[in-house]
Structure formats: structure tokens, C-alpha cells
Amino acid sequence: MSDLFLLSEAQMRRIEPYFPFSHGIARVNDRLIVSGIIYVIRNGLRWRDAPRTYGPHKTIYNRFVRWSALGVFNRIFSALAGAAGEPDRLMIDATHLKAHRTAASLLKKGLFPDALDEPRAG
């Protein structure tokens, strides 16, 4: 069973303070559910393809969606990144994406109003 857990007990203790409080009914094993979430995302699976040993796929999905909406993962990532201090390296992503020619019309429809107000460098 220990090979199912993708986070050690020490790692779980570090992130547990960021989990929301359980009101009423106690939650199932958070360590197992978090491991299921990590497993699905890391392997690029659909939620229903999560191994049954992590629990019902609907539970894993619902917990991910609920905690994402509450900002739980953002707080965990911010706290862990902040605890590391100043990085000794920075990485620049050079991803290039092509947009469909109709994507330019989004500015004209007012979906990004700040982009039109900025002065253009000439």
C-alpha cells in the first residue's frame, strides 16, 4: 500500500495546513486522494481512468475541482515556492503558439479593453 502514496508523510504534513477544514463528515484519506490527483495529472489520464486503489474517480475529481476553486493548490504552490528563497536560476519559456486569424477580432469586440488603450511603440 505504501507504493500508492506519491507523497511521503513528511510532505503531507507540510501541505496539510492549507487544506480546508472538514465540516461535519470527516474526509477520506487526504494523502490517498492527493496521490490520486497527482497520478491522474502526471500521467495525463481522464479522471475515470484513475486506479481504483485511490478511491472512486468521482471523489478524486470532486476534491480536485473543489480545492482548485478554493485556491488550495495555489496557496500550497506559493508557500512551497516562497520557502525555497531566491532561485539561483531562471527559466525562460520560448513557446510559440499560432492563433487563428479570427482571434484578432476579440480585441474589437471589447474582450480585452486594456490592450487597445496601451500606446504602441513606433
Residue 107 included in any domain: no
Alpha-carbon distance of 122 to 103, in angstroms, equals: 23
Helices (H), the chain: 9-15, 30-43, 57-70, 72-83, 105-108, 113-117
**What is the model's pLDDT at position 114?**
53
Residue 77 included in any domain: yes
- pTM of the entire predicted model: 0.66
**Mean pLDDT estimate for the chain:** 81
**Domain total of the chain:** 1
Q: What is the span of the domain harbouring residue 23?
A: 2-83
Tens-place pLDDT, residues 35-59: 999 999 999 999 999 999 999 999 9
Residue 90 included in any domain: no
Q: Cα 109 vs. chain centroid, distance in angstroms?
A: 31
Please check the confidence at residue 119 and state whether its pLDDT lies above 60.
no
Residue 119 included in any domain: no
Please check the confidence at residue 1 and state whether its pLDDT lies above 60.
no
**What is the model's pLDDT at position 115?**
47
Decide: residue 38, CB within 10 A, 0-12 exposed, 13-18 middle, 19+ buried: middle
Please check the confidence at residue 96 and state whether its pLDDT lies above 80.
no
Residue 121 included in any domain: no
Residue 33 included in any domain: yes
Please check the confidence at residue 103 and state whether its pLDDT lies above 80.
no
Residue 21 included in any domain: yes
Residue 10 included in any domain: yes
Tens-place pLDDT, residues 65-85: 999 999 999 999 888 888 877
List Cβ neighbours of 61 (8 Å cut-off, separation of 6 or more).
47
